[in-house]
Amino acid sequence: MKKIVFTIITIFLFNPLWAQSESDFIVTFTTDRAGVVITDYIGRSPSDRPIPGIEGGFYTNPGSPHPVRIPTTIQNLPVKEIGDRAFRGKDITSVIIPEGVTKIGNYSFSSCSYLSSVTFPNTLTHISEFAFSGCRELRTITIPSNVTFIGQAAFSNTGLTSINWPSRLTTIPNAVFAQTSLQSIVIPEGVTIIADFAFSNCTSLTSVTLPSTIVEIGSEAFRNCSALFTLNIPTSISNIRFVNLHGFMPHNSFEGCNRIPLATQARLRDLGYEGNF
């Protein structure tokens, strides 16, 4: 009997694909009532749940961080969206978002301090503002190629060290990767605008490669990237519009980037940059 009980405990404690039930989620209809939006996650970790076959038995360490696998359907309707703040601040370590989900709402997973892994579905098209902001354990992400919208600060203040950027997006939004742990980035061809604060305060960032398609770099886009040394600028670029957020001050896109070599600084001046380094 003891051996059987131990086997059950092992399955629940160490199975990383522990599945949530429908009762773990609060949902509402999508606008067209063809699917559901998850509005809140109320599930508990396996350590909160009774051990089958043991009357009144519970694991220890209730509320411990745990993985989440979102079901494909809830109440016989497909899961289409993750609503605003649905998982905000929850103690989850990873999340698998199923195929069929098209949108992740504002602040959906923000401040999930244990979240280190996210699996996105290929059906995803929309990641809203501040969706993963404050997830300091999140190191890498793969954004599906079908994504056509990413909101401001969606991945700000995370532990991201590397990114891929969807080919359909031509603008890197405001503060989207601000205060992350990025070390080297290659901005892909097709991107035309790097918006305000996009990579500000990325103090581990040492290398940036701009695409030949870039036409605008926003205010404070790379401000205080104090480790930035290598800035690759295609020779085909003859002009960049450097935006100043306040209008009456010199450009400050690269302010605080004083390790950029003088030759690269001169190249930026030739392209129209008037600010400090």
CATH code of residue 248:
3.80.10.10
Average pLDDT over residues 20-36: 95
Return the ∠ at Cα 177 (arms to 159 and 231), rounded to 5°. 105
Return the structure tokens found at 171: 């603008």
Phi-psi group of 7: left, alpha or beta (phi > 0 → left; psi -120 to 50 → alpha; rest → beta): alpha
163-209 tens-digit pLDDT: 889 989 999 999 999 999 999 999 999 999 999 999 999 999 999 99
Instruction: Give the residue from 132, 148, 169 where a domain finishes.
Output: 169
56 & 114 share domain: yes
Tally of structural domains, the chain = 2
Average pLDDT over residues 104-132: 98
Label the pairing between strands 126-127 and 103-104.
Answer: parallel
- Domain extent, residue 203, equals 182-277
pLDDT > 90: percent of the chain: 80
26 & 149 share domain: yes
> Of 47, 106, 36, nearest to 70 (Cα)?
36
- Host H or E run for residue 79: strand 77-82
- Check: CB of residue 55 under 8 Å from CB of residue 63: no
29 & 147 share domain: yes
31-68 tens-digit pLDDT: 999 999 999 999 876 555 544 444 444 433 446 899 99
Identify which has the larger pLDDT, 223 or 18. 223
The answer on pLDDT for 228 being more than 80 is yes
Max CA separation in the chain (angstroms): 79
Asked if the structure places residue 115 within a domain, the reply is yes
Return the structure tokens found at 81: 């969206």
49 & 159 share domain: yes
Distances, alpha carbon 232 to alpha carbons 9, 28, 137, 200, 242, in Å? 54, 48, 29, 18, 17
The answer on pLDDT for 5 being more than 50 is no
143 & 56 share domain: yes
d(C-alpha 58, C-alpha 250), whole Å: 62
The pLDDT mean for the chain works out to: 88
pLDDT > 70: percent of the chain: 85
Asked if the structure places residue 4 within a domain, the reply is no
156 & 200 share domain: no
Asked if the structure places residue 11 within a domain, the reply is no
Asked if the structure places residue 177 within a domain, the reply is no
How does 123-155 read in b/e, with b if 16+ C-beta sit within 10 Å?
Answer: ebbbbbbbbbbbbbebeebebeebbeebbbbbb
Residue type, 189: E
pLDDT at position 248:
64
134-167 tens-digit pLDDT: 999 999 999 999 999 999 999 999 999 998 899 8
d(C-alpha 186, C-alpha 35), whole Å: 38
194 & 256 share domain: yes
Asked if the structure places residue 6 within a domain, the reply is no
